[in-house]
Chains A and B, each alone.
Chain A
Amino acid sequence: MTETPRAADIGGAALASEGASFLRRFLRRPDGVAGLAMILAVALVGLLAGRLADADPRAMAYPTFLRPSGRYLMGTDAVGRDVFSRVVHGIATSLTVVVSVMFISTAIGLTLGALAGYRGGVLDSLIMRVVDMMQSVPGFLLAIVVVSLLGAGYDKLILLLGLTSWTFLARLVRAEVLSVKRREFVESARSMGAPGRRILVHHVLPNVAPAVVVVLPLMASRLVLIEAGLAFLGLGDPENVSLGFLISEAQPHLQYYWWLSVFPGVVLVALVLGLNLVGEALNDALNPGQGAGRLARGRRRGPEAGSAQPGGASQPGDVTLLGTPGS
């Protein structure tokens, strides 16, 4: 038993140095850094929402339809609310929803994916059947149905999205665990009598982590779009301002008051684009020297393995993940 902690330490050190070179490769990519800057800028504005915009986003306190100016950075809307303040609070809403959902879905996806991959057997096929089923319902339609029947409210929305958006991650984690499980160091840990849970937590999961890190930004960007899409349909929380709702409010005034739609839209695009850029740069940093294999491919899958993937597994890969409800 004394050997196992040492093995874990060595693994930890190796992983740490691998992590450092991974970070270096990421920082060398201008698009990844640009994406990171975009996310940080938008997130910072969202976090400081209350301080940046002193106007109450719901106060109908100003003249209506003012053009953007020094006093009203993004103008005012049809009932005299400050658009800048509304956009800034909209970002805060987006971030709250997305970050909360990410916690829930990552926890579920990691747990179920790791269980399915590590245990195998009946549990594996049961989990994978559920995943298959959930991936066969157009998720956005289901979200519309559930939200409109249960009533709007971000607590319900977060729960709903959290419970439905873990399937891709579970599939990925399962595949990674399956491949790591057969590697020598896991075999040796097992032969030394390390208990299953210990092997999973100390040896398998750390090696699965990079693949997970790569897909998280892409998951987040998809969730930003789903939240915005639901809010656009009027299914957001009426208590909170949301970027999607701002865009839907702008619809009747498009002809003369362009700023009502342009500003929330540009912010939304910046956030999603930033997340996608970071996701891609992470993917490349993780697979150095795979120049042509950039984008849209699962990692560690050669061209052969990729095309020989029976579609039967209905594994649309990153493509599904990148698919947006609004496009």
Chain B
Amino acid sequence: MSAGYVLRRLAQAVVTMVGIVVVTFVLVQMAPGDAVDTLGAEAGPEYARQLRADLRLDRPLPEQLAAYGARAVRGDLGLSFSQPGRRVTSVIGDYLPNTLLMGTAVVFSSALGVALAVRAAKRPRGPFDSVTSLGALLGFAVPGFWLGQMAILLLALRLGLFPIGLMADPRAGYTGFDHVVDVGVHLALPVLVLAAGEVAMVFRITRIGVLQERQKDYIRTALAKGVAADRVLGDHALRNALLPLVTVLGARVGFLFSGAVLVERLFAWPGVGTLLVSSAELRDRPVVLGIVLVASFALVATTFVTDMVYALIDPRIRYD
């Protein structure tokens, strides 16, 4: 991996990010009805004009964009409209950790998906492979929000195994370790639901990968040398089969944010998705814009890092 490659990819990432800022800013600002219409409409036109001037909403769009961009680079995303006096970054900061907790689904699903795939690839089209492959197909087809409802219906309401929503029991008022346990209990069902589609994806990529690696010469050599079949599959082949999994990590961060919106809504989980939907309803544009930018930044950054990691761990890659 050459320094030139790193720099070029970095430049590409920066250009992408700038483009995203410009387009989403213009898109969000062009929409009819601003915060003043929502907040100060009943107070009369004079007050509305004053408010617009205070918020600098009366300036031309390019000027607003330039000011926004200059502040965004320094990590300042402006002030929230719906929570007066609060910075967008600190509003998002309140909710982001809760969504990141949902990110445990990514870790959990990776482990489970890989384990199932290795087991299934041992005997392609055998009983285990057939059942898990069918499950993966279903996992892809079932929308998380409906799967979540079915989980609430059966596991929470009928069997009483899990709480039906929220992040902690509001009546119990646990503190310290008890609170952590309480959050964990509330987290279980949303993470399971979010992980279902992810497990399906990881399973399919890994299974194909292992099956394709199996046909290669180095595997035959290892088998001919008498290395145990389990080790060849679970170690030699798996290591190479996992490479494609690295490349989709960026896309999975995108799914996490998108999927979280629906699952958070379903379980009344106070995360970024919930914040996005409520801010959009309140026309709190700075917060809406901030969330889209934070999510996009996470996606661009993850893609950049995985590209670097990929180039490091796979020496076969050549760059022009």
Take A265-B149, A316-B247, A319-B201 as given contacts and tell me if A149 and B144 are in contact as well, using a CB distance cutoff of 8 Å. no
Interface 1/0 per residue, B139-156 and A, CB below 8 Å: 111111111011011000
- Establish whether residues B244 and A307, one from each chain, have CB atoms under 8 Å apart when the complex forms: yes
Closest to B318 in A: A308
- Establish whether residues A292 and B153, one from each chain, have CB atoms under 8 Å apart when the complex forms: no
Interface 1/0 per residue, B270-306 and A, CB below 8 Å: 0000001100110101001001100110011001001
- Establish whether residues A276 and B141, one from each chain, have CB atoms under 8 Å apart when the complex forms: yes
Take A265-B146, A265-B149, A292-B212 as given contacts and tell me if A325 and B124 are in contact as well, using a CB distance cutoff of 8 Å. no
Main secondary structure of the interface of A (DSSP, over half): helix
Q: Which residues of B contact A146 (CB under 8 A)?
A: 27, 31
Take A326-B145, A327-B139 as given contacts and tell me if A142 and B24 are in contact as well, using a CB distance cutoff of 8 Å. yes
Q: Which residues of A contact B32 (CB under 8 A)?
A: 149-150
One of A225, A269, A296, A322 near B208 (C-beta < 8 A): A296
Q: Which residues of A contact B198 (CB under 8 A)?
A: 327
Which of A12-20, A51-59, A70-78, A253-261 makes up part of the contact surface? Answer: A253-261
Closest to B124 in A: A292
Q: Which residues of A contact B124 (CB under 8 A)?
A: 291-292
Q: Give the shortest distance, in Å, between B80 (CB) and chain A (any CB).
A: 16
A265 to B33, CA, bound (A): 35
- Establish whether residues B251 and A316, one from each chain, have CB atoms under 8 Å apart when the complex forms: yes
B265 proximal to A (CB < 8 A) = yes
A312 proximal to B (CB < 8 A) = yes
B225 proximal to A (CB < 8 A) = no
- Establish whether residues B140 and A254, one from each chain, have CB atoms under 8 Å apart when the complex forms: no
Q: Which residues of B contact A277 (CB under 8 A)?
A: 137
Known: A129-B16, A323-B201, A323-B254. 7 other contacts (CB 8 A): A261-B150, A272-B141, A304-B316, A319-B248, A319-B251, A320-B251, A326-B262
Q: Which residues of A contact B24 (CB under 8 A)?
A: 137, 142, 145
Q: Which residues of A contact B296 (CB under 8 A)?
A: 136-138
A261 to B277, CA, bound (A): 22
| CB under 8 Å from chain B, chain A span 263-310 | 265, 268-269, 272-273, 276-277, 291-297, 303-304, 306-310
Closest to A262 in B: B150
- Establish whether residues B317 and A310, one from each chain, have CB atoms under 8 Å apart when the complex forms: yes
Which of B48-56, B60-68, B213-221 makes up part of the contact surface? Answer: B213-221
A37 proximal to B (CB < 8 A) = no
Which of B83-91, B168-176, B307-315 makes up part of the contact surface? Answer: B307-315
- Establish whether residues A323 and B255, one from each chain, have CB atoms under 8 Å apart when the complex forms: yes
Residues in chain B within 8 A of chain A (CB atoms): 5, 9, 12, 15-17, 19-20, 23-24, 27-28, 31-33, 124, 137-147, 149-150, 152-153, 157, 194, 196-198, 200-201, 204-205, 207-208, 211-216, 240, 243-244, 246-248, 250-252, 254-255, 257-259, 261-263, 265-266, 276-277, 280-281, 283, 285, 288, 291-292, 295-296, 299-300, 303, 306-307, 310-311, 314, 316-319
- Establish whether residues A232 and B262, one from each chain, have CB atoms under 8 Å apart when the complex forms: yes
A50 proximal to B (CB < 8 A) = no
Q: Give the shortest distance, in Å, between A264 (CB) and chain B (any CB).
A: 8
Q: Which residues of B contact A319 (CB under 8 A)?
A: 201, 204-205, 248, 251
Take A137-B20, A232-B262, A311-B303 as given contacts and tell me if A324 and B137 are in contact as well, using a CB distance cutoff of 8 Å. no
Q: Which residues of B contact A232 (CB under 8 A)?
A: 143, 145, 262, 265
Residues in chain A within 8 A of chain B (CB atoms): 129-130, 132-133, 136-142, 144-146, 148-150, 221, 225, 228-229, 232-233, 244, 247-248, 250-251, 254-255, 258, 261-262, 265, 268-269, 272-273, 276-277, 291-297, 303-304, 306-312, 314-317, 319-320, 322-327
Q: Which residues of B contact A269 (CB under 8 A)?
A: 138, 141-143, 146
Take A142-B292, A307-B244 as given contacts and tell me if A292 and B214 are in contact as well, using a CB distance cutoff of 8 Å. yes
- Establish whether residues A150 and B15, one from each chain, have CB atoms under 8 Å apart when the complex forms: no
Q: Give the shortest distance, in Å, between A135 (CB) and chain B (any CB).
A: 8
- Establish whether residues A133 and B16, one from each chain, have CB atoms under 8 Å apart when the complex forms: yes
- Establish whether residues A149 and B300, one from each chain, have CB atoms under 8 Å apart when the complex forms: no
Q: Give the shortest distance, in Å, between B314 (CB) and chain A (any CB).
A: 7
A38 to B316, CA, bound (A): 43
A132 to B15, CA, bound (A): 10
- Establish whether residues A327 and B265, one from each chain, have CB atoms under 8 Å apart when the complex forms: no
